[in-house]
Structure 1
Amino acid sequence: MAGTASFVQKLGNSVKKVSDSRSSSWWYNRHMRAASRAVYLRIPLVDFVLEVRDARIPMSSAYWQLRYFPSSSRNIIVLNKMDLASHSKTKEWMAYFKEQNYTSYAVNSHNKDSIKQFLNFLQAKVRDLRRNACSSTTDTTTVMLVGLPNVGKSAFANSLHQIGRVTALEKGKLKQAKVSPHPGETKDITSLKIASHPNVYILDTPGILSPEIADVERSSKLALTGAIADSLFDPSDLARYFLSILNLGHEYKKWENILKLDTNGNEIMNDHTQDLVVSAVRRALFEEISAFKGNLEDETDMVQLIEAQFTTLRKVFNVNSDSFEAANNIVSGKLINLYRTGRLGHYTLDNL
């Protein structure tokens, strides 16, 4: 869309510059290269491959190494973070994958019921595999998780492990894969048991980006959802890109019935995670968009609205700084955090 084009281009060019020059120690570093080879060699050896994608970007978060392997019923696309994506769009994407003969499943790694349902689904797949292969029920099934950085593989693996242990009534110290909000933290392949009778082990692998990403729109979406390290970007560029998406969408219209804010509550106004502040942010953004009379498909008008939103958000977040740039960076960090945690609505950035 024209209203987001300049923001997409700016972020995309930043990604391309870093990937082309290899100027960042984070981008496809030696850990990623070693992990890439290890994953590549193990994929043909496991029973199932769970390709974990971000439900907000079902196509943009596709795991690039799987293009070297033929698709099969043992490859399952897991749309994680479904709680952050548009529910109706997720259904559309799953219908699309079904048409393309892919098996897909949407999950929320932090919801026990969602994990239990997926575990039941996976165990049914394991039983089908054993029946078709005439295998003994004492055999071990291995399931490998693959995906880009920060799509939630480790959180998903830990949840499966925890629910699986409880279901199997197994005791002992709970082993966990390392979980971090920062992409690229997992360095090794971790094995976790998720079921018994038959035994099922899940292999959590490091998130691996392709050596280069030429598509600026895809790289912008990866940046906004956190698959690429925030340190590679100007925070305000990420925030402006999100605001352009918000301004052109319909999610903000759901905030129309927000009640009049009670500013006498106990919440601290500069703590952006408090409900009072979240409501104030929604209200401020709703009012700015609703009052704007320009053409949001026009880049100049979109920039004008976004700058007005930044001015308002500095007041809402109670940001005081002598530096205009520093103040905007603080606002940007808080805004992106609210977006990534679903406090500002549910967005699917990839369209069919």
Structure 2
Amino acid sequence: MAGTSSFVQKLGNSIKKVSESKSSSWWYNHHMRAASRAIFQRIPLVDFVLEVRDARIPVSSAYEQLRSFPSSSKKIIILNKMDLANNSNTKEWMAYFKEQNYVPYAINSHNKDNIKEFLNFLQAKVRDLRRNAHLSNTHTTSVMIVGIPNVGKSAFANSLHQIGRITAAEKGKLKQATVSPHPGETKNITSLKIASHPNIYILDTPGILPPKIVDIERSSKLALTGAIADSLFDQSELAQYFLSILNLSHEYKKWEKISGELELDKKVNQIMNDHTQDVVVRAVRQALFKDISAFKGNLDDEKDMVQLIEAQFTTLRKVFNVNSDSFEAANNIVAGKLINLYRTGRLGHYTLDSLQET
């Protein structure tokens, strides 16, 4: 979209510099290189591969290493974080992957019922495998979970493990995979049991990015959804990119019914410092709706979009109760809070990859 192109260019170029810098200790570091080799060696040996992608970016979050292996029924594409994506778009992407002869499954790894349904689906796949391959009853099925950083692999693995511990012997001390909101926290391949009779084990693996990402639009989407460490680029650039998407979407129109001015007494001012409070989220939605609705410029024009976003930053500094002598520092604080609200679904549900692009 024309209104977002300049923000994509700016953010994407910043990320590209980091990915090409040999001094970067995060991008494709020795942990990723070692894990990449280990995963590559094990993929042919497991019974199933669950490629976890972010439902908001079903193509941009693809795991590059699987390109070396032909598509087969042993690979299942998991569209995780479906609760943060546009529901209609997720259904369209599911249909698209099925047309391409993939096996897709959309999940929310924090929804127990959703995980139970997937576990039943996976067990049916295992039974088919055992029957078709004439495997013995003692055969242990291994399932490897792979994906880029921060798509929710470890949360998914833990949820399967918790739901799948069905026998008394397995209800002891819970072994868990490391879960963190920061990408790149999983360093080793972890084995977790998720079912008995027959035994099924999953292997949770570290998130791996390719050594370089040439496509700046893809890298911008990865940054916005949290696959790339926030410390590697300017948070204000990231927030500007998000606001350009919001301003061109229909999400803000859902906030029209939010009415009433907040009485900014001392108690409310204290609350406003915590951007996760419901009253603050409502105030943010209300303020953004007013700014976008009142704007008379052309949002397909870069200069007009920049003008609106500058006005929105000014508004959000007041809403978030940010006081700083440094204009840049204040904007970074606003940016951090805004991006957190986006990533937790408090500011709408967006699917950033479009089928038209594909």
TM-score category of the 2 structures, normalised to the smaller one: over 0.9
Q: 2:131 corresponds to which letter in structure 1?
A: R
Q: Is the 8 A contact 2:262 2:283 kept in 1?
A: no
Q: Which runs of 5+ in 1 are unaligned?
A: none
Identity over aligned pairs, percent: 82
Choose the corresponding residue for 1:300, options 295, 300, 303: 303
- Between the aligned partners of 1:212 and 1:39, the Cα distance in structure 2 is 19
Q: Which residue of 1 aligns with 2:17?
A: 17
**1:189 and 2:181 aligned:** no
**1:345 and 2:348 aligned:** yes
Matched ranges for 1:271-310 at <5 A: 271-310=274-313
Q: Which residue of 2 aligns with 1:39?
A: 39
User: 1:258 Cα deviation (Å)?
Assistant: 1.4
Q: Is the 8 A contact 2:11 2:237 kept in 1?
A: yes
Q: 1:10 corresponds to which letter in structure 2?
A: K
Q: Is the 8 A contact 1:50 1:75 kept in 2?
A: yes
Q: Is the 8 A contact 1:3 1:244 kept in 2?
A: yes
**1:326 and 2:337 aligned:** no
Secondary structure, aligned partner of 1:314: helix
Q: Which residue of 2 aligns with 1:146?
A: 146
Q: 2:198 corresponds to which letter in structure 1?
A: P
User: 1:260 Cα deviation (Å)?
Assistant: 2.1
Secondary structure, aligned partner of 2:178: coil
Q: Which runs of 5+ in 2 are unaligned?
A: none
User: 1:262 Cα deviation (Å)?
Assistant: 4.9
Q: How many residues align?
A: 351
Q: Which residue of 2 aligns with 1:76?
A: 76
Matched ranges for 1:128-277 at <5 A: 128-165=128-165, 167-169=166-168, 170-263=170-263, 268-277=271-280
Q: 2:95 corresponds to which letter in structure 1?
A: A
User: 1:270 Cα deviation (Å)?
Assistant: 1.2
**Under a length normalisation based on structure 2, what TM-score does the superposition of the two structures give?**
0.96
- Between the aligned partners of 1:272 and 1:171, the Cα distance in structure 2 is 38
Secondary structure, aligned partner of 2:346: coil
- Between the aligned partners of 1:52 and 1:341, the Cα distance in structure 2 is 18
Q: 2:191 corresponds to which letter in structure 1?
A: S
Secondary structure, aligned partner of 1:61: coil
Q: Is the 8 A contact 1:19 1:27 kept in 2?
A: yes
- Between the aligned partners of 1:47 and 1:305, the Cα distance in structure 2 is 52
- Between the aligned partners of 1:261 and 1:97, the Cα distance in structure 2 is 46
**Under a length normalisation based on structure 1, what TM-score does the superposition of the two structures give?**
0.98
Q: Tell me how large the CA RMSD over aligned residues is.
A: 1.1
- Between the aligned partners of 2:23 and 2:281, the Cα distance in structure 1 is 37
Matched ranges for 1:66-105 at <5 A: 66-105=66-105
Q: Which residue of 2 aligns with 1:108?
A: 108
Q: Is the 8 A contact 1:261 1:276 kept in 2?
A: no
- Between the aligned partners of 1:151 and 1:168, the Cα distance in structure 2 is 30
Measured against aligned partners, the alpha-carbon deviations of 1:198-220 in whole angstroms (never above 9, x if no partner) come to 00000000000000000000000
Measured against aligned partners, the alpha-carbon deviations of 1:14-48 in whole angstroms (never above 9, x if no partner) come to 12111122231000000000000000000000000
Farther off after superposition, 119-128 or 261-270 = 261-270
